[in-house]
Structure 1
Amino acid sequence: MVHFSRRLALKSALVCALVSLFFNTAAAADAVLRVSAIPDEAPTELQRKFAPLGKYLEKELGMKVSFVPVSDYAAVVEALASDKLDLAWLGGFTFVQANIRTKGTALPIVQREEDARFTSKFITADPNIKTLADTRGKVFAFGSPSSTSGHLMPRYFLMQDGINADSDFKNVAFSGAHDATVAFVASGKADAGVLNASVWAKLVEQQKVDAKVRVIATTPPYFDYNWTVRGDLDPALIRKIEAAFLKLDASNPEHAEILALQRATKFIPTKKENYAGIEQAAKAAGLLK
Protein backbone atom coordinates (compact mmCIF):
# COMPACT_ATOMS: atom_id res chain seq x y z
CA MET A 1 0.00 0.00 0.00
CA VAL A 2 2.85 2.38 0.89
CA HIS A 3 4.69 1.48 -2.31
CA PHE A 4 1.49 2.08 -4.34
CA SER A 5 1.00 5.53 -2.76
CA ARG A 6 4.62 6.42 -3.43
CA ARG A 7 4.29 5.33 -7.07
CA LEU A 8 1.08 7.36 -7.40
CA ALA A 9 2.80 10.42 -5.93
CA LEU A 10 5.77 10.03 -8.27
CA LYS A 11 3.45 9.58 -11.25
CA SER A 12 1.49 12.70 -10.27
CA ALA A 13 4.72 14.69 -9.89
CA LEU A 14 5.89 13.52 -13.30
CA VAL A 15 2.59 14.48 -14.92
CA CYS A 16 2.76 17.94 -13.29
CA ALA A 17 6.34 18.38 -14.50
CA LEU A 18 5.41 17.40 -18.06
CA VAL A 19 2.38 19.70 -18.06
CA SER A 20 4.53 22.54 -16.74
CA LEU A 21 7.19 21.87 -19.37
CA PHE A 22 4.55 21.81 -22.11
CA PHE A 23 3.02 25.12 -21.10
CA ASN A 24 6.39 26.79 -20.55
CA THR A 25 7.57 25.58 -23.96
CA ALA A 26 4.32 26.75 -25.55
CA ALA A 27 4.65 30.13 -23.83
CA ALA A 28 8.23 30.46 -25.10
CA ALA A 29 7.08 29.58 -28.61
CA ASP A 30 4.29 32.15 -28.41
CA ALA A 31 6.54 34.86 -26.94
CA VAL A 32 7.23 37.71 -29.32
CA LEU A 33 9.85 40.44 -29.01
CA ARG A 34 8.17 43.58 -30.35
CA VAL A 35 10.72 45.86 -31.98
CA SER A 36 10.45 49.26 -33.63
CA ALA A 37 12.54 52.21 -34.74
CA ILE A 38 12.13 55.95 -35.08
CA PRO A 39 10.95 56.62 -38.67
CA ASP A 40 13.97 58.68 -39.70
CA GLU A 41 13.96 57.12 -43.18
CA ALA A 42 11.30 55.80 -45.55
CA PRO A 43 9.27 52.86 -44.10
CA THR A 44 10.44 50.49 -46.84
CA GLU A 45 14.07 51.30 -46.03
CA LEU A 46 13.53 50.69 -42.31
CA GLN A 47 12.01 47.28 -43.06
CA ARG A 48 14.86 46.39 -45.43
CA LYS A 49 17.47 47.33 -42.84
CA PHE A 50 15.77 45.38 -40.05
CA ALA A 51 14.95 42.09 -41.85
CA PRO A 52 18.35 40.32 -41.44
CA LEU A 53 18.76 41.69 -37.90
CA GLY A 54 15.30 40.39 -36.95
CA LYS A 55 16.15 36.87 -38.19
CA TYR A 56 19.45 36.97 -36.31
CA LEU A 57 17.75 38.01 -33.06
CA GLU A 58 15.17 35.25 -33.45
CA LYS A 59 17.97 32.71 -33.67
CA GLU A 60 19.96 34.16 -30.78
CA LEU A 61 16.99 34.70 -28.45
CA GLY A 62 14.99 31.59 -29.36
CA MET A 63 11.78 33.57 -29.83
CA LYS A 64 9.82 35.30 -32.53
CA VAL A 65 10.83 38.89 -33.34
CA SER A 66 8.28 41.23 -34.87
CA PHE A 67 8.96 44.67 -36.35
CA VAL A 68 6.21 47.18 -35.50
CA PRO A 69 6.11 50.21 -37.84
CA VAL A 70 5.15 53.54 -36.26
CA SER A 71 3.87 56.80 -37.72
CA ASP A 72 6.27 59.23 -36.06
CA TYR A 73 8.93 59.67 -33.37
CA ALA A 74 6.39 60.40 -30.61
CA ALA A 75 4.61 57.11 -31.36
CA VAL A 76 7.77 55.12 -30.59
CA VAL A 77 8.16 56.85 -27.22
CA GLU A 78 4.49 56.30 -26.35
CA ALA A 79 4.55 52.63 -27.42
CA LEU A 80 7.64 51.99 -25.29
CA ALA A 81 6.07 53.74 -22.30
CA SER A 82 2.77 51.82 -22.64
CA ASP A 83 4.46 48.39 -22.94
CA LYS A 84 3.45 47.97 -26.58
CA LEU A 85 7.13 47.67 -27.55
CA ASP A 86 9.99 45.75 -25.94
CA LEU A 87 12.96 47.12 -27.89
CA ALA A 88 13.35 50.31 -29.90
CA TRP A 89 15.99 52.00 -32.04
CA LEU A 90 16.04 55.57 -30.76
CA GLY A 91 17.96 58.72 -31.49
CA GLY A 92 19.67 60.40 -28.55
CA PHE A 93 16.93 63.04 -28.14
CA THR A 94 14.16 60.45 -28.55
CA PHE A 95 15.82 58.42 -25.78
CA VAL A 96 15.84 61.49 -23.53
CA GLN A 97 12.12 61.93 -24.25
CA ALA A 98 11.48 58.22 -23.58
CA ASN A 99 13.46 58.39 -20.36
CA ILE A 100 11.30 61.29 -19.17
CA ARG A 101 8.04 59.70 -20.37
CA THR A 102 8.81 56.37 -18.62
CA LYS A 103 9.94 58.10 -15.42
CA GLY A 104 13.49 56.85 -15.88
CA THR A 105 12.71 53.18 -16.54
CA ALA A 106 13.67 53.05 -20.25
CA LEU A 107 17.12 51.49 -20.49
CA PRO A 108 19.64 52.07 -23.31
CA ILE A 109 21.71 48.91 -23.70
CA VAL A 110 23.87 49.17 -26.84
CA GLN A 111 24.88 51.68 -29.50
CA ARG A 112 26.97 51.52 -32.63
CA GLU A 113 30.58 52.44 -32.05
CA GLU A 114 29.93 55.33 -34.47
CA ASP A 115 27.22 56.74 -32.20
CA ALA A 116 29.76 57.82 -29.61
CA ARG A 117 31.01 60.43 -32.11
CA PHE A 118 28.07 61.13 -34.40
CA THR A 119 27.79 64.22 -36.61
CA SER A 120 25.31 66.03 -38.86
CA LYS A 121 25.90 67.53 -42.30
CA PHE A 122 24.60 70.95 -43.39
CA ILE A 123 23.80 70.87 -47.10
CA THR A 124 22.70 73.21 -49.90
CA ALA A 125 22.19 73.31 -53.65
CA ASP A 126 22.44 77.11 -53.80
CA PRO A 127 25.82 78.19 -55.27
CA ASN A 128 25.60 81.45 -53.30
CA ILE A 129 25.54 79.62 -49.95
CA LYS A 130 29.09 78.77 -48.96
CA THR A 131 29.00 78.97 -45.14
CA LEU A 132 26.43 78.66 -42.35
CA ALA A 133 26.34 82.45 -42.12
CA ASP A 134 25.01 82.53 -45.71
CA THR A 135 21.90 80.58 -44.64
CA ARG A 136 20.49 83.63 -42.83
CA GLY A 137 17.31 84.83 -44.48
CA LYS A 138 16.90 81.52 -46.34
CA VAL A 139 14.40 78.66 -46.12
CA PHE A 140 16.00 75.94 -43.97
CA ALA A 141 14.95 72.29 -43.65
CA PHE A 142 15.31 70.15 -40.54
CA GLY A 143 14.18 66.50 -40.40
CA SER A 144 11.70 65.52 -37.70
CA PRO A 145 11.18 67.90 -34.75
CA SER A 146 12.23 65.06 -32.41
CA SER A 147 15.32 64.09 -34.42
CA THR A 148 18.65 64.36 -32.62
CA SER A 149 20.81 64.59 -35.74
CA GLY A 150 18.22 66.20 -37.99
CA HIS A 151 17.06 68.94 -35.63
CA LEU A 152 18.14 69.17 -31.98
CA MET A 153 21.93 69.05 -32.23
CA PRO A 154 22.16 71.07 -35.48
CA ARG A 155 19.85 73.71 -33.95
CA TYR A 156 22.04 73.74 -30.83
CA PHE A 157 25.27 74.11 -32.83
CA LEU A 158 23.69 76.83 -35.00
CA MET A 159 23.01 78.69 -31.74
CA GLN A 160 26.68 78.28 -30.83
CA ASP A 161 27.49 79.95 -34.18
CA GLY A 162 25.13 82.82 -33.40
CA ILE A 163 22.32 81.67 -35.68
CA ASN A 164 18.82 81.51 -34.19
CA ALA A 165 16.69 79.13 -36.24
CA ASP A 166 13.48 80.83 -35.15
CA SER A 167 14.46 84.36 -36.15
CA ASP A 168 17.39 84.19 -38.59
CA PHE A 169 15.83 81.96 -41.26
CA LYS A 170 13.14 83.15 -43.66
CA ASN A 171 11.24 79.98 -42.89
CA VAL A 172 11.86 76.63 -41.18
CA ALA A 173 10.55 73.46 -42.79
CA PHE A 174 10.43 69.97 -41.24
CA SER A 175 10.85 67.28 -43.90
CA GLY A 176 10.10 64.42 -41.50
CA ALA A 177 13.13 62.27 -42.42
CA HIS A 178 16.80 62.58 -43.40
CA ASP A 179 16.39 61.38 -46.98
CA ALA A 180 13.42 63.72 -47.37
CA THR A 181 15.62 66.66 -46.32
CA VAL A 182 17.99 65.93 -49.20
CA ALA A 183 15.00 65.88 -51.55
CA PHE A 184 13.79 69.23 -50.15
CA VAL A 185 17.18 70.83 -50.83
CA ALA A 186 17.66 69.23 -54.25
CA SER A 187 14.23 70.39 -55.45
CA GLY A 188 14.63 73.93 -54.13
CA LYS A 189 11.85 73.48 -51.58
CA ALA A 190 14.50 74.54 -49.06
CA ASP A 191 17.64 76.58 -49.67
CA ALA A 192 19.65 74.58 -47.15
CA GLY A 193 19.10 71.78 -44.66
CA VAL A 194 20.72 69.34 -42.29
CA LEU A 195 20.74 65.54 -41.90
CA ASN A 196 22.73 62.89 -40.13
CA ALA A 197 26.13 62.01 -41.52
CA SER A 198 25.38 58.29 -41.78
CA VAL A 199 22.34 58.72 -44.05
CA TRP A 200 24.21 61.33 -46.10
CA ALA A 201 27.11 58.91 -46.66
CA LYS A 202 24.71 56.12 -47.64
CA LEU A 203 22.81 58.28 -50.12
CA VAL A 204 26.09 59.46 -51.69
CA GLU A 205 27.33 55.86 -51.99
CA GLN A 206 24.04 54.82 -53.61
CA GLN A 207 24.29 57.81 -55.98
CA LYS A 208 20.92 59.13 -54.77
CA VAL A 209 22.16 62.69 -54.24
CA ASP A 210 21.76 65.29 -56.99
CA ALA A 211 25.20 66.52 -58.10
CA LYS A 212 24.35 70.11 -57.20
CA VAL A 213 23.75 69.25 -53.50
CA ARG A 214 26.87 69.66 -51.39
CA VAL A 215 28.01 69.83 -47.76
CA ILE A 216 28.84 73.29 -46.37
CA ALA A 217 29.52 72.37 -42.71
CA THR A 218 29.71 69.48 -40.26
CA THR A 219 28.72 69.63 -36.59
CA PRO A 220 31.05 68.72 -33.73
CA PRO A 221 30.56 65.09 -32.57
CA TYR A 222 27.91 64.02 -30.06
CA PHE A 223 26.28 60.81 -28.76
CA ASP A 224 23.30 59.66 -30.78
CA TYR A 225 21.41 56.45 -31.61
CA ASN A 226 20.94 53.48 -29.29
CA TRP A 227 18.84 50.37 -28.78
CA THR A 228 16.60 50.87 -25.74
CA VAL A 229 14.47 48.31 -23.87
CA ARG A 230 11.44 48.96 -21.72
CA GLY A 231 12.45 48.92 -18.08
CA ASP A 232 10.22 46.04 -16.91
CA LEU A 233 11.42 43.57 -19.53
CA ASP A 234 12.77 40.31 -18.07
CA PRO A 235 16.39 41.06 -16.97
CA ALA A 236 17.56 37.70 -18.35
CA LEU A 237 16.09 38.59 -21.75
CA ILE A 238 17.71 42.04 -21.64
CA ARG A 239 21.09 40.38 -21.05
CA LYS A 240 20.51 38.03 -24.00
CA ILE A 241 19.54 40.92 -26.30
CA GLU A 242 22.63 42.89 -25.28
CA ALA A 243 24.87 39.85 -25.76
CA ALA A 244 23.40 39.23 -29.24
CA PHE A 245 24.28 42.75 -30.38
CA LEU A 246 27.76 42.67 -28.84
CA LYS A 247 28.41 39.30 -30.51
CA LEU A 248 28.01 40.76 -34.03
CA ASP A 249 31.39 40.49 -35.74
CA ALA A 250 32.26 42.03 -39.12
CA SER A 251 34.56 39.09 -39.94
CA ASN A 252 31.50 36.80 -39.99
CA PRO A 253 29.79 37.14 -43.42
CA GLU A 254 26.27 36.82 -41.96
CA HIS A 255 27.06 39.41 -39.29
CA ALA A 256 28.78 41.67 -41.84
CA GLU A 257 25.53 42.03 -43.81
CA ILE A 258 23.62 43.01 -40.66
CA LEU A 259 26.27 45.51 -39.59
CA ALA A 260 26.46 47.02 -43.08
CA LEU A 261 22.70 47.61 -43.15
CA GLN A 262 22.91 49.20 -39.70
CA ARG A 263 25.83 51.39 -40.86
CA ALA A 264 27.88 49.96 -37.99
CA THR A 265 31.38 48.53 -37.55
CA LYS A 266 30.29 46.97 -34.26
CA PHE A 267 27.99 47.52 -31.29
CA ILE A 268 29.24 48.59 -27.86
CA PRO A 269 27.52 48.93 -24.45
CA THR A 270 25.97 52.27 -23.61
CA LYS A 271 24.42 53.95 -20.56
CA LYS A 272 22.00 56.74 -19.67
CA GLU A 273 24.80 59.10 -18.66
CA ASN A 274 25.97 59.28 -22.29
CA TYR A 275 22.83 61.25 -23.15
CA ALA A 276 23.00 63.87 -20.41
CA GLY A 277 24.66 66.28 -22.86
CA ILE A 278 21.78 65.86 -25.31
CA GLU A 279 19.26 66.64 -22.56
CA GLN A 280 21.21 69.80 -21.69
CA ALA A 281 21.34 70.80 -25.38
CA ALA A 282 17.58 70.23 -25.70
CA LYS A 283 16.92 72.50 -22.73
CA ALA A 284 19.31 75.15 -24.09
CA ALA A 285 17.57 75.03 -27.47
CA GLY A 286 14.16 75.38 -25.83
CA LEU A 287 13.01 71.91 -26.90
CA LEU A 288 12.69 70.61 -23.33
CA LYS A 289 11.41 72.44 -20.28
Structure 2
Amino acid sequence: MQNKTVLRLFASLAIGIAAVSAQAQQVFRITAIPDESPTELARKAAPLAKYLEGKLGVKVEFTPVTDYAAAVEALVNKQVDLAWFGGFTFVQANQRSGGKVVPLVQREEDEKFRSVFIATDPAIKGLADLKGRDFTFGSQSSTSGHLMPRSFLLAAKVDPDKDLKRVAYSGAHDATVAAVASGKVDAGALNISVWEKLVADKKVDTSKVRVFYTTPAYYDYNWSVHADMPAAQREKLARAFLELSPETPEGRQILALQRATRFVPTRVENYKGIEAAARNAGLLK
Protein backbone atom coordinates (compact mmCIF):
# COMPACT_ATOMS: atom_id res chain seq x y z
CA MET A 1 0.00 0.00 0.00
CA GLN A 2 2.84 2.30 0.90
CA ASN A 3 4.53 1.55 -2.43
CA LYS A 4 1.35 2.46 -4.28
CA THR A 5 1.19 5.76 -2.42
CA VAL A 6 4.80 6.52 -3.32
CA LEU A 7 4.14 5.60 -6.95
CA ARG A 8 1.06 7.86 -7.04
CA LEU A 9 3.14 10.67 -5.53
CA PHE A 10 5.83 10.26 -8.18
CA ALA A 11 3.21 10.08 -10.91
CA SER A 12 1.56 13.28 -9.68
CA LEU A 13 4.94 14.97 -9.45
CA ALA A 14 5.83 13.88 -12.99
CA ILE A 15 2.50 15.14 -14.32
CA GLY A 16 3.01 18.44 -12.52
CA ILE A 17 6.49 18.87 -13.92
CA ALA A 18 5.25 18.02 -17.43
CA ALA A 19 2.42 20.54 -17.09
CA VAL A 20 4.80 23.27 -15.94
CA SER A 21 7.19 22.40 -18.75
CA ALA A 22 4.38 22.48 -21.32
CA GLN A 23 3.16 25.79 -19.96
CA ALA A 24 6.68 27.21 -20.16
CA GLN A 25 6.90 26.13 -23.79
CA GLN A 26 3.52 27.62 -24.65
CA VAL A 27 4.92 31.05 -25.36
CA PHE A 28 5.03 32.12 -28.99
CA ARG A 29 7.69 34.79 -29.48
CA ILE A 30 7.73 37.37 -32.24
CA THR A 31 10.27 40.03 -33.10
CA ALA A 32 10.85 42.70 -35.72
CA ILE A 33 13.80 44.48 -37.27
CA PRO A 34 14.22 47.81 -35.42
CA ASP A 35 13.54 50.03 -38.43
CA GLU A 36 11.55 52.46 -36.28
CA SER A 37 11.73 53.66 -32.69
CA PRO A 38 11.24 51.02 -29.93
CA THR A 39 8.04 52.69 -28.75
CA GLU A 40 6.54 52.61 -32.24
CA LEU A 41 7.47 48.95 -32.73
CA ALA A 42 5.91 48.03 -29.39
CA ARG A 43 2.75 50.00 -30.24
CA LYS A 44 2.40 48.16 -33.55
CA ALA A 45 3.06 44.75 -31.99
CA ALA A 46 0.66 44.85 -29.02
CA PRO A 47 -2.72 44.34 -30.79
CA LEU A 48 -1.17 41.85 -33.23
CA ALA A 49 0.19 39.76 -30.34
CA LYS A 50 -3.23 39.77 -28.66
CA TYR A 51 -4.90 38.70 -31.91
CA LEU A 52 -2.43 35.87 -32.49
CA GLU A 53 -2.94 34.64 -28.93
CA GLY A 54 -6.60 34.08 -29.72
CA LYS A 55 -5.85 32.35 -33.02
CA LEU A 56 -2.97 30.15 -31.82
CA GLY A 57 -4.24 29.44 -28.33
CA VAL A 58 -0.91 30.27 -26.69
CA LYS A 59 0.65 33.29 -25.03
CA VAL A 60 2.32 35.58 -27.58
CA GLU A 61 5.15 37.90 -26.57
CA PHE A 62 6.94 40.58 -28.57
CA THR A 63 10.71 40.39 -28.08
CA PRO A 64 12.54 43.54 -29.19
CA VAL A 65 16.07 43.28 -30.58
CA THR A 66 18.91 45.80 -30.68
CA ASP A 67 19.67 45.68 -34.40
CA TYR A 68 18.90 43.95 -37.69
CA ALA A 69 21.59 41.29 -37.22
CA ALA A 70 20.07 40.33 -33.85
CA ALA A 71 16.68 39.80 -35.52
CA VAL A 72 18.31 37.45 -38.03
CA GLU A 73 20.14 35.47 -35.34
CA ALA A 74 17.02 35.24 -33.14
CA LEU A 75 15.02 33.42 -35.82
CA VAL A 76 17.93 31.39 -37.21
CA ASN A 77 18.64 30.07 -33.70
CA LYS A 78 14.91 29.60 -32.95
CA GLN A 79 14.95 32.03 -30.03
CA VAL A 80 11.79 33.50 -31.59
CA ASP A 81 9.07 31.84 -33.64
CA LEU A 82 8.14 34.66 -36.01
CA ALA A 83 10.11 37.64 -37.32
CA TRP A 84 9.23 40.74 -39.29
CA PHE A 85 12.00 41.16 -41.84
CA GLY A 86 12.77 43.56 -44.64
CA GLY A 87 13.48 41.86 -47.95
CA PHE A 88 17.26 42.11 -47.52
CA THR A 89 17.13 40.94 -43.90
CA PHE A 90 15.11 37.93 -45.06
CA VAL A 91 17.71 37.15 -47.73
CA GLN A 92 20.43 37.36 -45.06
CA ALA A 93 18.46 35.11 -42.69
CA ASN A 94 17.69 32.60 -45.44
CA GLN A 95 21.37 32.43 -46.40
CA ARG A 96 22.58 32.37 -42.79
CA SER A 97 20.25 29.44 -42.00
CA GLY A 98 21.08 27.42 -45.10
CA GLY A 99 17.57 27.94 -46.47
CA LYS A 100 15.85 27.11 -43.17
CA VAL A 101 14.22 30.54 -42.77
CA VAL A 102 11.17 30.87 -45.02
CA PRO A 103 8.82 33.78 -45.73
CA LEU A 104 5.21 33.17 -44.69
CA VAL A 105 3.12 36.23 -45.58
CA GLN A 106 3.66 39.78 -46.72
CA ARG A 107 1.48 42.85 -46.97
CA GLU A 108 -0.11 43.40 -50.36
CA GLU A 109 1.88 46.65 -50.44
CA ASP A 110 5.15 44.71 -50.23
CA GLU A 111 4.63 43.31 -53.72
CA LYS A 112 5.30 46.81 -55.07
CA PHE A 113 7.27 48.60 -52.40
CA ARG A 114 9.28 51.80 -52.92
CA SER A 115 11.83 54.04 -51.27
CA VAL A 116 11.90 57.82 -51.33
CA PHE A 117 14.85 60.20 -51.40
CA ILE A 118 14.32 63.39 -49.40
CA ALA A 119 16.12 66.73 -49.07
CA THR A 120 15.62 70.30 -47.93
CA ASP A 121 17.80 72.07 -50.53
CA PRO A 122 15.72 72.98 -53.62
CA ALA A 123 18.88 72.64 -55.73
CA ILE A 124 18.70 68.87 -55.23
CA LYS A 125 16.29 67.75 -57.93
CA GLY A 126 17.59 64.31 -58.88
CA LEU A 127 20.00 61.59 -57.88
CA ALA A 128 22.88 63.13 -59.85
CA ASP A 129 22.58 66.27 -57.69
CA LEU A 130 23.69 64.24 -54.67
CA LYS A 131 27.32 64.16 -55.85
CA GLY A 132 29.52 65.94 -53.33
CA ARG A 133 26.74 66.00 -50.71
CA ASP A 134 26.33 64.56 -47.21
CA PHE A 135 23.83 61.70 -47.31
CA THR A 136 22.27 59.25 -44.87
CA PHE A 137 20.85 55.79 -45.36
CA GLY A 138 18.89 54.05 -42.58
CA SER A 139 20.33 50.82 -41.18
CA GLN A 140 23.07 49.11 -43.19
CA SER A 141 20.89 45.97 -43.31
CA SER A 142 17.75 47.84 -44.38
CA THR A 143 16.21 46.98 -47.75
CA SER A 144 14.25 50.18 -48.26
CA GLY A 145 16.64 52.39 -46.28
CA HIS A 146 19.93 51.21 -47.76
CA LEU A 147 20.16 48.29 -50.20
CA MET A 148 17.61 49.41 -52.78
CA PRO A 149 18.44 53.14 -52.54
CA ARG A 150 22.13 52.23 -53.01
CA SER A 151 21.19 50.02 -55.96
CA PHE A 152 19.26 52.82 -57.66
CA LEU A 153 22.07 55.32 -56.97
CA LEU A 154 24.56 52.98 -58.65
CA ALA A 155 22.17 52.59 -61.61
CA ALA A 156 22.13 56.40 -61.90
CA LYS A 157 25.97 56.41 -62.01
CA VAL A 158 26.26 57.76 -58.48
CA ASP A 159 28.63 55.63 -56.40
CA PRO A 160 27.88 56.39 -52.72
CA ASP A 161 31.38 55.41 -51.66
CA LYS A 162 33.11 57.63 -54.22
CA ASP A 163 30.74 60.39 -55.32
CA LEU A 164 29.14 61.45 -52.04
CA LYS A 165 30.99 63.74 -49.67
CA ARG A 166 29.97 61.74 -46.59
CA VAL A 167 27.74 58.70 -46.04
CA ALA A 168 26.03 58.15 -42.69
CA TYR A 169 23.68 55.49 -41.36
CA SER A 170 20.86 56.79 -39.16
CA GLY A 171 19.75 53.34 -37.99
CA ALA A 172 16.03 53.84 -38.65
CA HIS A 173 13.68 55.47 -41.15
CA ASP A 174 12.28 58.10 -38.79
CA ALA A 175 15.85 58.96 -37.73
CA THR A 176 16.72 59.57 -41.39
CA VAL A 177 13.93 62.13 -41.66
CA ALA A 178 15.11 63.81 -38.46
CA ALA A 179 18.69 63.99 -39.77
CA VAL A 180 17.61 65.64 -43.02
CA ALA A 181 15.14 68.00 -41.32
CA SER A 182 17.75 69.18 -38.82
CA GLY A 183 20.37 69.82 -41.50
CA LYS A 184 22.80 67.16 -40.26
CA VAL A 185 22.86 65.81 -43.80
CA ASP A 186 21.79 67.19 -47.17
CA ALA A 187 19.61 64.24 -48.12
CA GLY A 188 18.56 60.73 -47.19
CA ALA A 189 16.58 57.70 -48.31
CA LEU A 190 13.85 55.80 -46.49
CA ASN A 191 10.85 53.50 -46.64
CA ILE A 192 7.91 55.15 -48.44
CA SER A 193 5.29 53.90 -45.94
CA VAL A 194 7.13 55.42 -42.97
CA TRP A 195 7.46 58.69 -44.87
CA GLU A 196 3.74 58.74 -45.68
CA LYS A 197 2.85 57.94 -42.05
CA LEU A 198 5.07 60.77 -40.74
CA VAL A 199 3.47 63.16 -43.23
CA ALA A 200 -0.05 62.02 -42.29
CA ASP A 201 0.74 62.46 -38.60
CA LYS A 202 2.21 65.92 -39.31
CA LYS A 203 5.56 64.87 -37.83
CA VAL A 204 7.49 66.31 -40.75
CA ASP A 205 7.31 69.81 -42.23
CA THR A 206 6.78 69.14 -45.94
CA SER A 207 7.33 72.82 -46.74
CA LYS A 208 10.97 72.20 -45.81
CA VAL A 209 11.58 68.48 -46.29
CA ARG A 210 10.44 67.09 -49.65
CA VAL A 211 10.66 63.97 -51.76
CA PHE A 212 12.77 64.55 -54.87
CA TYR A 213 12.96 60.95 -56.11
CA THR A 214 10.81 57.84 -55.71
CA THR A 215 12.29 54.50 -56.73
CA PRO A 216 10.74 51.89 -59.02
CA ALA A 217 8.86 49.09 -57.21
CA TYR A 218 10.41 46.01 -55.64
CA TYR A 219 9.43 43.24 -53.18
CA ASP A 220 10.12 44.05 -49.55
CA TYR A 221 8.92 43.13 -46.05
CA ASN A 222 7.54 39.80 -44.85
CA TRP A 223 6.79 37.75 -41.76
CA SER A 224 9.18 34.79 -41.71
CA VAL A 225 9.34 31.55 -39.72
CA HIS A 226 11.87 28.76 -39.25
CA ALA A 227 11.33 25.75 -41.51
CA ASP A 228 11.34 23.49 -38.43
CA MET A 229 8.01 24.95 -37.29
CA PRO A 230 5.39 22.16 -37.48
CA ALA A 231 3.33 22.37 -40.67
CA ALA A 232 0.04 22.57 -38.74
CA GLN A 233 1.22 25.55 -36.70
CA ARG A 234 2.61 27.26 -39.79
CA GLU A 235 -0.74 26.85 -41.57
CA LYS A 236 -2.65 28.15 -38.55
CA LEU A 237 -0.34 31.17 -38.34
CA ALA A 238 -0.61 31.96 -42.05
CA ARG A 239 -4.39 31.66 -41.88
CA ALA A 240 -4.49 34.10 -38.96
CA PHE A 241 -2.73 36.75 -41.06
CA LEU A 242 -4.74 36.06 -44.20
CA GLU A 243 -8.01 36.35 -42.27
CA LEU A 244 -7.25 39.86 -41.02
CA SER A 245 -9.93 42.09 -42.49
CA PRO A 246 -10.68 45.83 -42.37
CA GLU A 247 -14.31 44.81 -41.97
CA THR A 248 -13.75 44.02 -38.26
CA PRO A 249 -12.62 46.57 -35.63
CA GLU A 250 -9.74 44.32 -34.56
CA GLY A 251 -8.59 43.66 -38.11
CA ARG A 252 -8.91 47.33 -39.04
CA GLN A 253 -6.72 48.38 -36.10
CA ILE A 254 -4.02 45.78 -36.77
CA LEU A 255 -3.89 46.41 -40.51
CA ALA A 256 -3.69 50.17 -39.96
CA LEU A 257 -0.78 49.77 -37.52
CA GLN A 258 0.95 47.39 -39.94
CA ARG A 259 0.25 49.86 -42.77
CA ALA A 260 -1.40 47.12 -44.76
CA THR A 261 -4.59 46.75 -46.77
CA ARG A 262 -4.31 42.98 -46.31
CA PHE A 263 -1.78 40.15 -46.00
CA VAL A 264 -1.07 37.74 -48.85
CA PRO A 265 1.05 34.56 -49.12
CA THR A 266 4.65 34.97 -50.24
CA ARG A 267 7.56 32.74 -51.25
CA VAL A 268 11.35 32.68 -51.43
CA GLU A 269 11.37 33.35 -55.18
CA ASN A 270 9.89 36.82 -54.63
CA TYR A 271 13.17 37.92 -53.04
CA LYS A 272 15.59 36.76 -55.75
CA GLY A 273 15.68 40.30 -57.15
CA ILE A 274 16.75 41.69 -53.79
CA GLU A 275 19.37 38.97 -53.45
CA ALA A 276 20.76 39.91 -56.88
CA ALA A 277 20.77 43.62 -55.97
CA ALA A 278 22.63 42.84 -52.73
CA ARG A 279 25.28 40.86 -54.58
CA ASN A 280 25.68 43.56 -57.23
CA ALA A 281 26.10 46.19 -54.50
CA GLY A 282 28.70 44.05 -52.74
CA LEU A 283 26.51 43.67 -49.64
CA LEU A 284 26.07 39.90 -49.89
CA LYS A 285 28.74 37.30 -50.63
TM-score of the alignment, normalized to the shorter chain, above 0.5: yes
Distance 1:129 1:199 in 2: 22
Q: Greater shift after overlay, 181-190 or 230-239?
A: 230-239
- 8 Å CA contact 1:28, 1:63 repeated in 2: no
Cα deviation for residue 129 of structure 1 reads 1.2
How is 1:121-270 mapped onto 2 (pairs within 5 angstroms)? 121-210=116-205, 211-270=207-266
Report the residue type matching 2:225 in the other structure: V
Report the residue type matching 1:99 in the other structure: N
- 8 Å CA contact 1:30, 1:64 repeated in 2: no
Report the residue type matching 1:257 in the other structure: Q
Distance 1:240 1:21 in 2: 28
**Correspondence for 2:8:** none
Name the CA shift for 1:255/1:122 in 2 (closer, same or farther; >3 Å): same
Q: Counterpart of 2:194 in 1: which secondary structure?
A: helix
Asked if 1:80 is matched to 2:75, the reply is yes
Structure 2: gaps of 5 or more residues: 1-10
Using structure 1 for the length normalisation, give the TM-score.
0.91
Cα deviation for residue 85 of structure 1 reads 1.1
Cα deviation for residue 234 of structure 1 reads 1.8
How is 1:268-279 mapped onto 2 (pairs within 5 angstroms)? 268-279=264-275
Cα deviation for residue 28 of structure 1 reads 5.6
Distance 1:199 1:226 in 2: 16
Distance 2:150 2:39 in 1: 28
**Correspondence for 2:30:** 35
Q: Counterpart of 1:88 in 2: which secondary structure?
A: strand
Q: Counterpart of 2:83 in 1: which secondary structure?
A: strand
Q: Counterpart of 2:161 in 1: which secondary structure?
A: coil
Q: Residues 186-224 of structure 1, C-alpha deviation per residue, up to 9 Å, x if partnerless?
A: 011110000000000000000001230000000000000
- 8 Å CA contact 1:34, 1:66 repeated in 2: yes
Equivalenced residues, count: 272
Distance 2:17 2:172 in 1: 46
Name the CA shift for 1:160/1:180 in 2 (closer, same or farther; >3 Å): same
**Correspondence for 1:99:** 94
